[in-house]
Amino acid sequence: MTRDAFLFLSAFLASGVEMVEALTIVLAVGVTRGWRSTLTGAGAAALVLAIVVAVLGPAVSALPFDVLRIVVGGLLLVFGLQWLRKAILRASGAIARHDETAAYAKEREEAERAAGERRGAMDWYAFTVAFKGVFLEGLEVAFIVITFGAAREGGVALAAAAAGAAFVVVAVAGAVARAPLARVPENTLKFAVGLLLTTFGVFWGAEGAGATWPGDDAALPAILALLTAVSLLAVRVLGRDRVRRLSVEPLEVRP
Amino acid sequence: MKYVVAFLRFWYDFIVGDDWRIAAGVVAALGLTAVLAHQGLAAWWLMPAAVVAILLASLRRARA
């Protein structure tokens, strides 16, 4: 139960965050260049992603279980640690936070400037940008669904259901707001997703390598608590360090 | 050839990302956990400790 709840929550949040970013791109291009080509591009990307999941999901699941858990654990760790690292750097102010309003404005400006190629009714600029945006953001979702799903029986369905639920929530919110979902606390969500991916990576990776967790599933919240404490401490230390450096180097101009 | 390199580059960037040492550290930690477990020793503690060390080292490099 603990594992399923964590798995659903992780897949839902990770998918939701990526979909918010994809929505920003689709909205910016659609509003600027028209909806037909934009939605065709987004739909084509969704189709390719569904094929990727349908082909890779069963292929990955066919691996022996212990091999699968160590591979999935390792991939989740590499992926999760990258997310967590970036989230900590953003939270401490070391790098700029992701801003959907700014991303939307930039996409719109580029879409307005681009001459684009129109053949028949199709605007190929809008198609390509929407396809690329949805595909690249969606690939992370597909990766998470496949890796989470592969590590336990019925996991692909559970992770896919979580991704589907996230899609519905983001699509409805986007349709109602008709604007980028800037009020979604994206940086905080990415922090949480980084923590959850890393937690699962530690748990499954160690199990796959032959270790036995004391308390079995009960180890999951303990790993999460440890990683959360370390990450928050890192944010604090990096933030303090940054303030100190800025006060020592007052003439330095930072973006 | 250009497309193969671009394809591999895309997957490298997608999975490994900004700091390749994270991936290398994860592989080493998993290998060490497997060695301990196959010796019949308690190995569960190694991954959390290694992951904390890998994360902090990567943050330290990013700050420098």
pLDDT, tens digit, for every residue of A174-202?
A: 878 777 676 667 788 889 989 988 998 99
Take residue A79 and report the two structure tokens written for it: 């992926």
- Find chain B residues with C-beta within 8 A of A86's C-beta: 18
Interface check for A241 against chain B (CB to CB < 8 A): the answer is: yes
- Residue A232, both tokens: 């928050």
Query: B47 and A202 in contact by Cβ < 8 A?
Result: yes
Contact residues, chain A, for B59 at CB < 8 Å: 85, 88-89, 234, 238
Q: Where are the domains of chain A?
A: 2-245
Quote the CA–CA distance of A26 and A32 in Å, as a whole number: 10
Work out the percent of chain B whose per-residue pLDDT is above 90: 64
Per the CB < 8 Å rule, is B33 touching A210? yes
pLDDT at A113 over 70: yes
The ipTM, to two decimals, is 0.91
Q: What is the pTM of this model?
A: 0.79
Amino acid letter, A195: L
- CA atoms within 13 Å, Cβ hemisphere of A141: 29
- pLDDT for B9 equals 85
CB burial class (10 A; 0-12, 13-18, 19+) of residue A96?
exposed
pLDDT digits (tens, 9 = 90+) for B17-43: 888 999 999 999 999 999 999 999 999
What the block records as the tokens of A248 is 């020592």
Residue A51 is predicted with a pLDDT of 87
